């Protein structure tokens, strides 16, 4: 066999493959076999093929000696006679296994007649392969070794990746908890100065600091609106951190969805009037009671309605529909539709994602924290319901969600 | 003139509340932390207490309990204000016999309405 060194690597000429670059150290094979004839046979078979000459042999005659040799030399593969004077194959594997029960090195069992059942068992507890001594060939032995070594390398690489991933995951979880905690603190800490800013503006607006001109009144009312916007943003931030950490809980009670919807529509009337938007309500009569957390569903409705008003141009129309879900009798369907520009089909799947920002090309209606629809989805989901959007570009969007009807207790 | 004790660590909010209360014809006194609250209440004998819940060095809910247990107990209506959205705070406050519970930022009209109602003026 010809060998030479090229650029620091060993290059070997093989009869079948021509010149092969040896990029790895030769494989160290531990042969644990009490019969010297067989030891000689294995060595010969492996050397005979001589494809890359990459084997170094270690030998042991007993299980004990084999284990000692394994610990001392850490071979790449073990060829194990199933019946040793002191151990059988299963015992040897058990002794070899680490604390985690894994056999740390590929072991190929070489078996005599009649040990098929035991061999099957050995494969289950971690042997890499087995070969009947009666049918050994150079090719099959070599292939078995290279497969076993390759598999064991891959397994080690995967285990290492798993370990790294698990560690990274843990680190990310810790960081995320830290960020959530910080957001929580931030929104809480911001609220105190915001309260005082808003309240002093209100005090002046209410005339407690003397009479105001029209312009002063107008400008201060803008300042107060901005304070309210900030409050909404901070509350969304708080809700979203609570959702992220699984700390947002709902307290559903029997309630009337029609009244709730009407109340939200009334509260949004000033915003609608500002843009001369007509809000068309269509509420089915005699709807049964629903099981909802009123405050939370109100938050969902307020959010959807305020989005609808935001995206609908001046003089447009916003519709609010409440009725039985035609497809599922146990649910009430609530829809809020706008006559805005609609949502790009590619964005439809993402509008409920946390921190997702709709890109419309219209700076005036972009922005926001990207939390509103995420919170809507989570709140509706906590109620067991679903939320979705249908949209036609140029015509508008309809956001719909379902809330559960009160089911009479079953006796 | 009815006297209202404000227990609140943020001095600007105390000032804003004081303006509102005076405009409504109340006398306002303040304690800026949980420790001060007891001595001010014992000395001033307020007709109503407005309490912030999360304050450094003490929780408004505990202050309320302590005021009720003073040698001469302050058994007057208590109204809580909080910037915290911790779940269950409202229930805890109500369980302590709170007359009302408001989240910050509060709406002055609603707060003043609750004060009047608690004092039996409306």
Report chain B (122 residues): mean pLDDT per 10 consecutive residues.
Answer: 94 96 96 90 94 83 89 91 85 92 94 96 82
Burial A205-230 (b: 16+ CB within 10 A, else e): beeeeeeeeeeeeeebeeebeebeeb
Tell me which chain A residue has its CA closest to the CA of residue B20: A203
Q: What sign results for the dihedral spanned by CA atoms B27, B33, B39, B45?
A: positive
Nearest-neighbour CA in chain B from A195: distance (Å): 4
pLDDT tens-place string over residues A73-100: 999 999 999 888 888 888 899 998 888 8
Q: pLDDT at position A139, please?
A: 86
Q: Please state the ipTM of this predicted complex.
A: 0.91
- What's the pLDDT at A218? 93
A·B CB contacts under 8 A: 51
Find the CB nearest B12 among A196, A208, A247: A196
Give B3-118's CATH code, choosing from 3.20.20.370, 3.30.1540.10, 3.40.50.2300, 3.90.550.10: 3.40.50.2300
The pLDDT assigned to A180 comes to: 81
What are the tokens at A408? Answer: 């009479």
Beta bridge partners of A375: none
Query: What's this model's pTM, rounded to 2 decimal places?
Result: 0.64
| Mean of pLDDT values over A337-350 | 87
The B-side interface with A (CB below 8 A) comprises: 10, 12-13, 15-17, 19-20, 23, 54, 83-85, 87, 104-106, 108
CA A250 to chain centre: 25
Question: Percent of chain A at pLDDT above 70?
Answer: 89
Q: Chain A residues with CB-CB distance to B under 8 A? A: 188, 191-196, 198-200, 202-203, 206, 208, 227-228, 231, 235, 238, 247, 249
pLDDT score recorded for residue A386: 93
Q: Is A194 in Cβ contact with B12 (below 8 Å)?
A: no
Q: For chain B, how are helix, strand and coil distributed in percent, rounded to 5? A: 40, 25, 35
**B16:A199 CB<8 A:** yes
Q: Do B16 and A191 touch (CB under 8 A)?
A: no
C-alpha–C-alpha distance, residues A83 and A87, integer Å: 7
The per-residue pLDDT for range A182-230, each reduced to its tens digit, is 887 887 789 999 999 999 999 999 999 999 999 999 999 999 988 988 8
Which 8-state DSSP code applies to residue B106? P
Output the pLDDT for position A186.
83
pLDDT classification of A409: cutoffs 50, 70, 90: low
Of B35, B36, B31, which Cα lies nearest the Cα of B17?
Answer: B31
| Pick from A81-90, A294-303, A328-337: least confident | A81-90
pLDDT of residue A59: 93
Q: What is the pLDDT of residue B6?
A: 96
Nearest chain B CA: its distance from A91 CA (Å): 59
With an 8 Å Cβ cutoff, are B54 and A196 in contact? no
Return all residues near A63 (Cβ < 8 A) that are at least 6 apart: A32, A84, A85, A86, A87, A91, A92, A95
Query: Are A188 and B54 inside 8 Å of each other by CB?
Result: yes
Among all residues of chain A, which has the CA nearest to that of B22?
A208
Are A231 and B19 in contact (CB < 8 Å)?
A: no
The string of pLDDT tens digits covering residues A96-112 is 888 888 888 999 999 88
pLDDT, position A2: 67
Residue that the structure tokens 């989005």 belong to: A307
Q: What is the pLDDT of residue A15?
A: 67
What is the arithmetic mean of pLDDT over A159-165?
93
Please, what is the average pLDDT of chain A?
86
| A25 pLDDT more than 80 | no
**pLDDT tens profile A346-365:** 888 888 888 777 666 665 55
B20 neighbourhood in chain A, CB within 8 Å: 199, 203, 208
pLDDT at site A54 = 75
For chain A, what percent of residues have pLDDT higher than 90? 44
User: What is the 3-class SS of chain A, one letter each residue?
Assistant: CCEEEECCEEEEEECCCEEEEECCCCEEEEEECCCHHHHHHHHHHHHHHCCCCCEEEEEECCHHHHHHHHHHHCCCEEEEECECCCCEHHHHHHHHCCCCCCCCCCEEEEECCCCHHHHHHHHHCCCCEEEEHHHCCHHHHHHHHHHHHHHHHHHHHHHHHHHHHHHHHHHHHHHHHHHHHHHHHHHHHHHHHHHHHHHHHHHHHCCECECCCHHHHHHHHHHHHHHHHHHHHHHHHHHHHHHHCCCCCCCCEEECHHHHHHHHHHHHHHHHHHCCCEEEEEECCCCCCEEECHHHHHHHHHHHHHHHHHHCCCCCEEEEEEEECCCCCCEEEEEEECCCCCCCHHHHCCCCCCCCCCCCCCHHHCCCCCCHHHHHHHHHHHCCCCEEEEEECCCEEEEEEEEEECCCCCC
Give the pLDDT of residue B58: 74
CA B38 to chain centre: 12
């Amino acid at each position: 066999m010809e060998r030479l060194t090229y650029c620091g690597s060993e290059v070997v000429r093989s009869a079948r493959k021509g010149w092969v670059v040896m990029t790895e150290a030769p494989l160290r094979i531990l042969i644990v076999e009490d019969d010297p004839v067989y030891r000689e046979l294995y060595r010969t078979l492996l050397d005979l093929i001589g494809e890359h000459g990459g084997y170094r042999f270690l030998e042991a005659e007993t299980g004990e000696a084999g284990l000692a040799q394994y610990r001392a030399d850490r071979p790449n593969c073990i060829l194990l006679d199933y019946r040793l004077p002191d151990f059988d194959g299963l015992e040897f594997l058990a002794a070899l296994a680490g604390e985690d029960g894994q056999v740390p090195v590929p072991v190929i069992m070489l078996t005599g007649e009649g040990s098929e059942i035991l061999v099957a068992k050995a494969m289950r507890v971690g042997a890499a392969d087995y070969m009947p001594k009666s049918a050994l060939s150079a090719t099959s032995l070599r292939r078995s070794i290279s497969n076993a070594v390759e598999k064991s390398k891959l397994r080690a690489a995967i285990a290492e990746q798993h370990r790294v991933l698990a560690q990274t995951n843990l680190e990310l979880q810790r960081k995320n908890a830290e960020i959530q905690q910080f957001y929580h603190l931030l929104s809480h800490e911001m609220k105190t100065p915001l309260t005082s800013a808003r309240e002093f503006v209100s005090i002046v607006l209410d005339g407690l600091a003397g009479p105001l001109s029209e312009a002063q009144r107008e400008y201060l009312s803008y300042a107060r609106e901005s304070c309210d916007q900030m409050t909404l943003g901070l509350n969304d931030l708080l809700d979203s951190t609570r959702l992220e950490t699984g700390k947002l809980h709902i307290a559903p009670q029997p309630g009337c969805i029609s009244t709730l919807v009407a109340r939200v529509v009334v509260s949004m009337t000033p915003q609608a009037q500002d843009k001369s938007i007509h809000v068309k309500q269509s509420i089915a009569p005699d709807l049964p009671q629903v099981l909802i957390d009123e405050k939370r569903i109100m938050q969902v409705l307020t959010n959807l309605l305020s989005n609808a008003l935001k995206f609908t141009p001046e003089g447009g129309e916003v519709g609010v529909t409440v009725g039985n879900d035609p497809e599922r009798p146990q649910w009430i369907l609530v829809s809020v539709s706008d006559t805005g520009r609609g949502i790009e089909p590619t964005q439809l799947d993402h509008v409920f994602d946390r921190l997702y920002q709709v890109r419309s090309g219209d700076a005036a209606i972009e922005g926001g924290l990207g939390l509103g629809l995420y919170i809507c989805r989570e709140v509706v989901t906590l109620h067991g319901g679903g939320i979705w959007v249908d949209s036609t570009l140029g015509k508008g969007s309809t956001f719909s969600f379902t809330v559960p009807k009160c089911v009479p207790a079953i006796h | 003139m009815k006297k209202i004790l404000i227990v609140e660590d943020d001095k600007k909010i105390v000032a804003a509340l004081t303006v509102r209360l005076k405009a409504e014809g109340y006398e306002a006194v303040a304690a800026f932390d949980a420790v001060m609250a007891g001595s001010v209440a014992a000395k001033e004998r307020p007709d109503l207490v407005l309490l912030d819940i999360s304050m450094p060095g003490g929780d408004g809910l505990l202050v309320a309990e302590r005021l009720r247990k003073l040698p001469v107990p302050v058994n007057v209506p208590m109204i809580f204000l909080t910037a915290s959205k911790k779940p269950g705070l409202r229930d805890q406050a109500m369980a302590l016999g709170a007359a009302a519970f408001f989240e910050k930022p509060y709406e002055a009209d609603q707060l003043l309405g609750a004060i009047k109602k608690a004092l039996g003026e409306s």
